[in-house]
Chains A and B, each alone.
Chain A
Amino acid sequence: MINQSNKVLNTNITKLVNKTYQYGFSTQIEKDIIEKGLSETTVRLISSKKNEPEFLLNFRLKAYKKWKQMQEPVWPYLKFPQINYQDVTYYSAPKSQKKIKDLNELDPELLETFEKLGISLTEQKRLANVAVDAVFDSVSIGTTFQEELSQCGVIFASISEAIHEYSELIEKYLGSVVPIGDNYFSALNSAVFTDGSFCYIPQDTICPLDLSTYFRINDQNAGQFERTLIIAEKNSYVNYLEGCTAPQYDTNQLHAAIVELIAFENATIKYSTVQNWYAGDKFGSGGIYNFVTKRGLCAGANSNISWTQVETGSSITWKYPSCILMGDNSHGEFYSVALTNNYQQADTGTKMIHIGQNSRSRIISKGISAGKSKNSYRGLVNVTNKAIGARNYSQCDSLLIGNQSNANTFPYISVQNSTTKIEHEASTSKIGEEQIFYFLQRGISLEKAVELMISGFCQEIFTKLPLEFAAEADKLLTLKLEGSVG
């Protein structure tokens, strides 16, 4: 009976919301590509292609040596076939890499690709209030509003550009929050990272535009290893957005990124991600393996770092955007919606390390699992003995759709002083057949019903997203739930 009625509902919802991944196209473009495989030669080749200073080559080589001695972590609640790191292309860039001054001179094929993704780089159509750095496979192909930003001292550039133009800043801060040997994937990224974004907000400056990087993996065999570094000096403020998509291939692509944030005294960094990498098909084949290390350092007193993420893509997600709350009265936040469907697996959460006195952190995690997917929250709240008066509030809610999905919560709490206040709340709920029937009986379509329930569940997180992102994220989640309610 249940199977039969599930079938009815499933066919219904499939009819209604069965839209394929709309970013699944790939761009045909001439590429500068290096041979598959990873060795010291590869690392040197990448460095020389990018014409890098000596310190960076050494950084990479050190990382490569570290990586070779390390093992993939085995603790995540994820199951996937052994990755053959020698079968990945570590550098792929569109040809004709001559330095261009005007973004209008870009290869029309590339401009069109980003146009299709809703990211316009040309002067006439670009977003008025957001500066964009567009990264295509291994390289940044353009950054908008650079000049306008530089007038108030804000540096927004691709990391490759920054390595040359602002090498002292890079040398000082790269790897200072996520050390080379932090984990297996951070070592890998440090050895082979190719591009990403660099933002520097000078003292007493409120960044006049939202900054945004859009990552696109295009090549079938290329891994993407991007690196983002954001530095907010005393009394500064920046709002940063990250978006990502990839074509639809039946093989898995590797993505291992590092994001480092540093906020000095009284500075605020808000970092938002809408992750929509290709998730694989409904039988679980293809999709991105996403291994990301994101960490922010609240270095100064009263500094704030806030992570907001909407994770919908990737066949595997391994990601724990974290805050090290070093400064007194510093404040870390983590707001997350992770949605998995079909055979997707996500092991995601955060770490809040309290060191500063009266440091505060807040974790709101919403996991939605549909189909046969596995969705786990894994979080650590660590209050050290110096963090007198530290406070944490965590809330982890799971929403199950259907009878075959899986939701887990793994909270770790470690407290080393008695002045701390920690709260943890968790809940699990389910969108069931009876709820759907109730909506339908009132004349509300299945599509609307699911949309309403999902956005209700995620509301707390969506309000944290910038406005343009929030509407997008809402739509995205509904889209992703094709054929999963019953």
Chain B
Amino acid sequence: MNSNDTLLEVKDLQVSIADSKILKNLNLKINKGEIHAIMGPNGSGKSTFSKVLAGHPAYSILDGEILFKGISILDLEPDERSHLGIFLAFQYPIEIPGVSNEDFLRLAYNSKQKFYNKPEVGPLEFLTIINDKLKLVNMSPVFLSRNVNEGFSGGEKKRNEILQMILLDSELAILDETDSGLDIDALKTISMGINNFMDSSKSILLITHYQRLLDYIKPDYVHVFQDGKIIKTGSAELAKELENKGYEWLR
């Protein structure tokens, strides 16, 4: 594969928060069309990694490089990274009182349109766009008039994340434990949404604790995180092995 197909490249990344080092010499390369899964024990730095990619201001980059589509994004603001095509589905989606989901979604959509010098859409036009996407994640239009994530159940919040992912159609989707707390039906719905989103021009980075999600979304690579770096990389089979043996055998 030539370098034009590389979407994300992380080199020797070292990250700290409040003087404690979380990521140590992390290396990862994701090509277009690939699905990567990250597994690993709690506190190994998986969520930190997802937030660092999205540009959360709480973390300090000590060393290393993150290239997205060949350019360094270390100095870019979170919203600029979003426009470039990085999407993070949050582990704990944030509640925003007083702001309707519809306004939020439209604003997000239009911000991206504006960034790419495309026309912004009005509320009516947006409704036709969003209604199609709602079906993909099996959400009722009633969700649009409710405040963003406010009073949503765990499953509804996660579906809302996937809805946003499909709407913004970003090239790199980072899914931080999107499967946790879901029942089987919700897991199926979400997996369908994700598979629907995926194509050869995009990539997905899945962070998960469980093999069961990988039954629906087949990863090309599985990485095991331990102590802020990747200690093992394998195929989808590795996830099954981990499910049986736990992480201890890797130490």
Contact = CB atoms under 8 A, between A and B. Distances in A.
Interface of A: 1-2, 4-5, 8-9, 12, 429, 433-435, 437-446, 448, 452-453, 455-457, 459
Nearest to A445: B79
A444 B108 contact: yes
Given A429-B97, A457-B97, A441 B54 contact: yes
Contact of A437 (B57, B100, B111): B57
B79 A444 contact: yes
A227 B57 CA distance: 51
Interface stretch (B82-90, B189-197, B228-236): B82-90
A443 B57 contact: no
Nearest to A8: B57
A441 B57 contact: no
Contacts of B104: 442, 444, 452
Interface size range of chain B in the complex? 20 to 34
B120 interface: no
Interface string B68-107: 0000000001110011000110100110111110011001
B78 A452 contact: no
5 contacts: A5-B56, A8-B57, A429-B97, A437-B56, A448-B107
Contacts of A429: 97
A41 B17 CA distance: 68
B78 A437 contact: yes
A433 B79 contact: no
A314 B229 CA distance: 54
B82 A440 contact: yes
Contacts of B58: 1-2, 4-5, 433
Contacts of B168: 442-443
B1 interface: no
B115 interface: yes
B31 interface: no
B99 to A, nearest CB: 4
B107 A435 contact: no
B208 interface: no
Nearest to B112: A443
Contacts of B55: 440-441
A455 B78 CA distance: 23
Contact of A440 (B79, B87, B164): B79
A441 B86 CA distance: 8
Contacts of A445: 79, 111
A456 B97 contact: yes
B60 interface: yes
A5 B51 CA distance: 13
B124 interface: no
A443 B90 contact: no
Nearest to B58: A5
A440 B115 CA distance: 13
Best-surrounded residue of A5, A440, A446, A448 (most CB of chain B within 10 A): A440
Nearest to B79: A440
Contacts of A437: 54, 56-57, 78, 94
A429 B77 CA distance: 26
Contact of B98 (A2, A442, A448, A456): A456
A442 B148 CA distance: 13
A12 B98 contact: no
Contacts of A442: 82, 104, 108, 111, 164, 168
A456 B108 contact: no
B21 to A, nearest CB: 13
A439 B82 CA distance: 10
Interface string B44-62: 0000000000111110100
Contacts of A446: 79
A438 B54 CA distance: 10
A437 B51 CA distance: 10
Given A445-B111, A452-B104, 8 more contacts: A5-B58, A437-B94, A438-B90, A442-B104, A442-B168, A443-B79, A452-B99, A457-B98
Contacts of A433: 57-58
A445 B107 CA distance: 10
Contacts of A9: 57
Given A444-B111, A448-B107, A453 B17 contact: no
Contacts of A439: 79, 96
B111 A448 contact: yes
Nearest to B19: A1
B18 interface: yes
Contacts of B164: 442
